[in-house]
Amino acid sequence: MSDKNNLRRYLMKHFLVAVFFVGIAEIALNYLFRTLVYPALDHFFGLQQVWEDVGLSQALMLALQSIVVFLINRLTVLFPGALGQYLENQIASQMEGSIFHYLQSYLADYTPLEARLMTTVFVLFLAALLLLWLLPYILAAASFGAVVSRKVTELEEEQRQRQAAYERQRNLLLSDVAHDLKTPMTTVVGYAHALLHEDVANPGQQREYLKAIYRKSIQMNELILLLFEYVKLDSEGFALKIEDVDAAECVRETAAAMYADFEDDGMTFLADIPEDRVALPLDMLQFTRALTNLLVNARKHNPRGTTVGVEMTEMGQEVEVRVWDSGEPIAEEIAAHLFDPFVQGDASRRSKNGSGLGLSITRKIIEMHGGEVSLIQDNLPPGKTKEFVITLPKKREY
């Protein structure tokens, strides 16, 4: 939506610039006509008797009207009899007072050759005036057309680059998914092989093998579910189910559902959410998933004793939801690409059982709502080392 608004503003700006210069050109041409051209025409043809203090546009309209009437008068010879005579009389009444009727009277004292020469000069002069009158519009149209063409070329190039980046990201995504599935799958295959083909008589050891197979199976299942959600959000035909909901209640319920998990991990969990209703246009299911991903990320990647909090604040026409913690800051080289899929690195994914997809899904969901999500690690109050900030508009643009 933002791209559409930017394009609309860009084209509107250049269109208004073109209109402005056309207006300036019209003023200049009218001044030129009144001060130079009209006095010259009046000097040679005595036009003040038919054109009294006219501007360029009015003079051209009167001349074109006279030309049309003159041409129709010539066509009356195609209608014989009474009809032809009637049409000729009607046209003759229209010809009265026209520029060509005046020229016929004005040039009556000239020789036929001089009259034709003067008429030709006058018609050519009118044609030149018409071209001069149209010139600002032609130049403005050509200029605006060039602007549109250049912008279309830029958009096509941006689209090509986005498509190329998408292809690269997709290939990287598939490669990383294969890598992340390979590690637990190797463990599952190894332990299953040991249980089937080796003499593992110790019940305790058998149970450990089965526990390992179970944990790795759960890990693979979570990765596949996350990958499914990530691809679904980017698939053609997927759309959010937007409703006006109480966002404060949604955040409150999501935080409450995570409270026990934080306690089990030895963390302190705080919530600061408005009691009053905060109306937002949301897909409740997808927004809950986005917020849950941030809370799960804070739980997985911080040690015991960490304080984690969620806050909600109304900021004019926007609402901010902040998920913060007092754990270790994120390294700059990772923070710069944190919302890209699989940016955590192999070692981090192995040690933290993370896929690197949760934050990417969060960003997709929030951007589809017309908002944005960012990481802040500087100038935070005491007790906070980092916070993820979701910013959502109160009114959705379609």
Where residue 220 sits, what CATH number does that domain have? 1.10.287
> pLDDT-derived band of residue 36, with 50, 70 and 90 as boundaries?
confident
Q: What's the total number of domains in the chain?
A: 3
> pLDDT-derived band of residue 352, with 50, 70 and 90 as boundaries?
very low
User: Looking at the structure, do residues 262 and 360 belong to the same domain, yes or no?
Assistant: yes
What does the pLDDT look like over 278-305, one tens digit per residue? 999 999 989 998 999 999 999 989 999 9
pTM higher than 0.75 for the full model?
Answer: no
Among residues of the chain, what percentage have pLDDT more than 70?
74
Classify residue 163: in a domain, yes or no: no
Q: What is the pLDDT of residue 349?
A: 40
Q: What is the pLDDT of residue 339?
A: 84
Q: What is the pLDDT of residue 310?
A: 96
Tokens 């944190």 belong to residue: 338
Examine the pLDDT at 115 and tell me if it is beyond 80.
no
User: Looking at the structure, do residues 282 and 326 belong to the same domain, yes or no?
Assistant: yes
Alpha helix positions (H), the chain: 2-32, 38-45, 56-75, 81-95, 99-106, 112-197, 203-233, 247-264, 284-300, 332-335, 346-352, 358-368
Classify residue 313: in a domain, yes or no: yes
**Backbone dihedral region of 386: left (phi > 0), alpha (psi from -120 to 50 degrees) or beta?**
beta
Three-state secondary-structure class, residue 244: strand
User: Looking at the structure, do residues 118 and 223 belong to the same domain, yes or no?
Assistant: no
Classify residue 282: in a domain, yes or no: yes
Instruction: Report the Cα 376 to chain-centroid distance in Å.
Output: 26
CATH number of the structural domain spanning residue 337 = 3.30.565.10
C-alpha span between 79 and 86 (Å, rounded): 10
User: Looking at the structure, do residues 6 and 146 belong to the same domain, yes or no?
Assistant: yes
User: Looking at the structure, do residues 223 and 250 belong to the same domain, yes or no?
Assistant: no
Output 133 or 19, whichever has higher pLDDT. Answer: 19
> pLDDT-derived band of residue 325, with 50, 70 and 90 as boundaries?
very high
User: Looking at the structure, do residues 303 and 180 belong to the same domain, yes or no?
Assistant: no
Classify residue 238: in a domain, yes or no: no
What does the pLDDT look like over 39-68, one tens digit per residue? 776 666 666 655 666 666 666 666 666 666
User: Looking at the structure, do residues 111 and 143 belong to the same domain, yes or no?
Assistant: yes
Classify residue 171: in a domain, yes or no: no
Query: What number of CA atoms fall less than 13 Å from residue 254's CA on the CB side?
Result: 27
Task: Pick the last residue of a domain from 157, 189, 206.
Answer: 157
Q: What is the pLDDT of residue 56?
A: 67
Q: What is the pLDDT of residue 270?
A: 95
**Domain range for 151:** 2-157
Examine the pLDDT at 348 and tell me if it is beyond 50.
no
Classify residue 265: in a domain, yes or no: yes
Query: In Å, what is the CA distance from 220 to each residue of 27, 179, 301, 355?
Result: 74, 11, 19, 10
Examine the pLDDT at 241 and tell me if it is beyond 80.
yes
Q: What is the pLDDT of residue 167?
A: 77
User: Looking at the structure, do residues 192 and 275 belong to the same domain, yes or no?
Assistant: no
User: Looking at the structure, do residues 29 and 149 belong to the same domain, yes or no?
Assistant: yes
End-to-end CA distance of the chain: 7
User: Looking at the structure, do residues 9 and 132 belong to the same domain, yes or no?
Assistant: yes
Please list the residues that pair with 386 across neighbouring strands: 325
Classify residue 382: in a domain, yes or no: yes
What does the pLDDT look like over 196-226, one tens digit per residue? 877 777 888 888 888 888 888 887 887 787 7
Q: Which two tokens stand for residue 186?
A: 């190797």
Q: What is the pLDDT of residue 347?
A: 42
C-alpha span between 238 and 92 (Å, rounded): 70
User: Looking at the structure, do residues 50 and 123 belong to the same domain, yes or no?
Assistant: yes
Task: Pick the last residue of a domain from 233, 261, 282.
Answer: 233
Classify residue 398: in a domain, yes or no: no
* Closest to 125 measured CA to CA, from 28, 24, 27, 47: 47
Q: What is the pLDDT of residue 73?
A: 58
Task: Pick the last residue of a domain from 233, 253, 271.
Answer: 233
User: Looking at the structure, do residues 73 and 132 belong to the same domain, yes or no?
Assistant: yes
